Each structure stands twice: as C-alpha cells, then as structure tokens.
Chains A and B, each alone.
Chain A
Amino acid sequence: MFTGFDFDVIQRSAGYLFREGMTFTVTLTVMAMTTGIVLGTLLAMMRLSSFRVLAMLAGGYVNLMRSIPLVLVIFWFYFLVPWMGGWLIGATEPIQVGAFMSSFITFTLFEAAYYCEIMRAGIQSIPRGQVWAGYALGLNYWQSMGHVVLPQAFRNMLPILLTQTIILFQDTSLVYVLSITDFLGAASKVAQRDGRLVEMYLFVAVVYFIISYFLSYLVKRLQARIAVPGKL
C-alpha cells in the first residue's frame, strides 16, 4: 500500500516543521491560554455580578462567540483588528497587524468565552457560605474573590481548563485559513512544494495525536490526584 511513498521528505523537512511551525503553534497556544483564562475569569465574574448591565454584556459576548464558527471568528478579527488598532491610536488608516498578533488576539478573545463558562461553573460550585465567611472576616469583594473563591474554583476546574487548552492547541491549526505558517501550515507548504501531500498530512496527524494524547493522559492523572475522595 505504501509503495511509492517518500517518507524521506519528513526527515528532510522535520527541522523546518518543528522550528518554524511547532514553535508558532505552541507559543500561540500558551499565550492564548494564559490571557484567555484571565479574561475568561473576569468575564465569569461579570456574568455572576449583581450589576445587571455587566452580567448582560458578558453574557451577550459569550453567547455570540459560542454561536459562530471559529473559522468565521478568525476571518472577522483578521479584518477587524487593523481597524480597531487604527481607531485606538487615532491613525488615518487601518494599521498593519502581524500574523501572530492577529491570531493571538483572535484566539484569546474566542477561547475566553469558553474559559468563562468553565470558570463560571467553578465559581458557582463554591458554597455561598465561603463568600459570607470572607465578608464576615472583613474582606471586600476583590479580596474574597481573590483569596477565597477563585483559588478553589480554579483548583476544581483545573482539569477542564486544561482539556479546553488541548482543544485550543488543536484549534490553532485553523490559522491555516490565513496562510500562516503554524505546524500544519508549514507541513502544507512542504507538501505542496514537493508534491508529498499524503506523507506530510499523515505525519502531521501522528504528531498532533501523540501530543494531544499525552497531554490528555496527564490531565487524567491530575484529575485522579486532585479528586476529592468520596465525591462523584
């Protein structure tokens, strides 16, 4: 079945694939995860806040992001960010935004909506008495959130947050639609140049599989470790 295949092309291009492509993919994933979780937590606090307007704004944002496809969001921000940037700094024309910056903003804002829902569930899983106890001790809203509620919510939700990050890691491959050289983009360029689509795409699938499988294995171990005995 595999006669006539040239698996040598993988060896020839591996350096390029990992140095250029995988570096982009991993950097984008880690940065979008970090800012996405921060932004998502803030959104979750807004959604649960007693200020109606804040709650509605955050809710609207999250629902909007969750009802349109990521590919469309990528296109949206690819064109929107230059205009927003130009408007922010008062330029006369849309500014130039690099491929990395554009995809970083896209994935941060998109994933924040998903992280928000996870953090919201996490915050809601904390008994109300905890917050009251915080207030009784004289903590204000930010202190009781920061020292009492969020650390517990974060800990409870850590496995799901990480699972979401594995999805984010896979989703970053969609920057392909902007012809960006992430791991898949790099492989696709080599594949088209050398006419070796089969070998390259199989290789990409295997690499993604190994990384994602290994990461989800780690999450499972973590989940077992931090699980409260006797619960669930």
Chain B
Amino acid sequence: MKYNWNWGIFWQPAADGSGTWLHYLLVGVVWTLTTALAAWVIALAIGSLVGVVRTTPSRWAIRLGNAYVELFRNIPLLVQMFLWFFVLPEVVPQGVGEWIKQMPPPWSAFIPAVLCLGFYTSARVAEQVRAGIQSLPRGQGMAGTAMGLTLPQSYRYVLLPQAYRIIMPPLTSEFLNIIKNSSVALTIGLLELTARARAMQEFTFQVFEAFTGATVIYILVNIVIAFGMRWLEKRIAVPGLIAAGGAPQAGH
C-alpha cells in the first residue's frame, strides 16, 4: 500500500490554465473571504435589528423576532442554500425569476450564497445581540428613560454601545463560523476554497496534498482573524468588567 506523495503539485500549472495549483487555491480563499464578508454585513445589520426588536417592550415584536430566529435556526444550512438557489427563482414573479436564472456565473452562485449565509447567520447574531442587551443591568435602560431619552435614544446611546462590546467574543466566533460555513456554497457551484481543493483532487489525484493545502489555508485565516479580534476585544473591552468568556454554547 503506497501513496505517491507529490508536494511539488502546488507549483504545477492548474487545469483551468490560470496559473499554478497554489494560485488556484488562493483565488479560492479570496472567494471564501469575499462571500463571508458580504454575508457578514447582512448578518450584522439584520441580526442587530432582530436582536434589538426582541428586547423591546412590544409583545408582538418579540414574538415576530423569536419566530425569525427559530425559522433560520431549525433548517439545515444546506437546505436553506437549496431554497435560495433552486426554490426562490420559481416562487417569485416570473420576470424576476427569469432574470435570476439568467445571471452569469460566478454571480449566479455567489449572490444566493451570500444571501443564504447572511440570513442564516443573522439569526445567530440576533441571539447574541439579545443576550448582550439582556445581560446589562435593567437600571441602565431605566436610567436612560429617567434622563428623558426616548426608547430609540436609550438603545443608541446607552444599551447598544455596551452590548456590542460585551458580545465581541461570540461575534468573533460567529464570523469564524461564517467563513467555515461558506464552504457549503460549493453545493450550488461556488468555486471557493473547499470546492477548489476538491477540484484539484479530482484533476491531479493528489488527494491528501490538495486537502492539506486547503486545511493549512483555513487554519492560517483562522489564526489571523482570531489574533486581530483579540486585539480589538482588548481595546474595546468595557473597563471594570471581568473579560466576558460567556457561558458555553453549542455551535459548529
């Protein structure tokens, strides 16, 4: 039983003629990061909104927010990916559907992937934002009201600035998650890092080199982001609070 190792494969020309295999994988990680960043913008925006809504005094707004979170949390990411990619163009008005279907690659896969990851992660961000706001002493909001701030003002000037700083560590892991989760987009044809490692394996038969290459790149990306965020966390930590490790959570 012998496996033919060939680490030189990374310097050999890739099948698509764009450069070496190493270059081919690096283009993949650019797609991975672009997808993750674009989705992160959606996730933060909608997640914050839903998270805030779930802490307001309005009963029905809370229910709506909870329903939103439950919807995106209880359907597997891959199934959601298929809903955005296969199902959405069929259930919107025909003109729009045709327009979506005629989008050229890579956008035809990139846009559904970004929307899918963005909405999926927004539910998880909403959960963190809600927890962050609720972890503040109730007196904070009351003090805001007592000082004559309106509800939006006390969120803007009192609650949110503290909540975001407290939930930085879980937000960091959500961001790392979105990078990992972007690999699911390979099922709808997005050529991100994992998809490219798989393609490299199929063309060259160098299974373990290809996957090692992708693994090393993912680890490097993780390390860089983790260090960057730790630095940021230290700079913005609320003075006087014990560094928030937070309760352990399920995740992936």
Contact = CB atoms under 8 A, between A and B. Distances in A.
A184 interface: yes
Contacts of B70: 213, 216
Interface in B151-195: 176, 180-184, 186-187, 194
Given A92-B1, A184-B79, A68 B218 contact: yes
A67 B208 CA distance: 18
**Residue from B75, B80, B187, B218 whose CB has the most chain A CB atoms within 10 Å:** B75
A69 B78 contact: no
A136 interface: no
Nearest to B78: A173
DSSP majority for the B interface?
helix
Contacts of A72: 183, 194, 197, 211, 214-215, 218
For chain B, which range describes its interface: under 10, 10 to 19, 20 to 34, or 35 or more residues?
A: 35 or more
Which of A2, A64, A80, A202 has its CB near the most chain B CB atoms (within 10 A)?
A202
A1 B87 contact: no
A164 interface: yes
B55 interface: no
Interface residues of A, number: 51
Given A197-B87, A198-B86, A201-B86, A114 B222 contact: no
Nearest to B207: A79
B74 interface: yes
Given A67-B218, A75-B198, A208 B1 contact: no
A205 B79 contact: yes
Interface stretch (A33-41, A50-58, A83-91, A140-148): A83-91
A164 B248 CA distance: 11
A167 B252 contact: yes
A170 B249 contact: no
A93 B79 CA distance: 37
A56 to B, nearest CB: 16
Interface in A156-195: 157, 160-161, 163-164, 166-167, 170-171, 173-174, 176-177, 184, 188
A164 B250 contact: yes
Contacts of B181: 69
Contacts of B219: 64, 67-68
A76 interface: yes
Interface string B70-89: 11011111111011001100
A198 B194 contact: no
A201 B87 contact: yes
Interface in A71-105: 71-72, 75-76, 79-80, 83, 86-87, 91-94
A204 interface: yes
**Among B73, B91, B218, B250: residue with most chain A CB under 10 A:** B250
A184 B76 contact: yes
Nearest to A163: B250
A152 interface: no
B90 interface: yes
A71 B187 CA distance: 10
Contact of A86 (B1, B75, B194, B248): B1
Nearest to A79: B207
A205 B215 contact: no
Contacts of A114: 250-252
A208 B76 contact: yes
A171 B1 contact: no
B203 interface: no
A109 interface: no
Contacts of B252: 70, 114, 167, 171
Contacts of A164: 250-251
9 closest Cβ contacts across the A-B interface? Answer: A121-B248, A69-B183, A212-B74, A170-B76, A164-B250, A163-B250, A69-B180, A67-B222, A173-B76
7 contacts: A70-B252, A79-B208, A86-B1, A117-B248, A118-B248, A166-B250, A173-B79
Given A117-B248, A212-B74, 12 more contacts: A69-B194, A70-B183, A79-B201, A79-B208, A83-B3, A167-B251, A177-B186, A204-B82, A205-B80, A208-B74, A213-B70, A216-B73
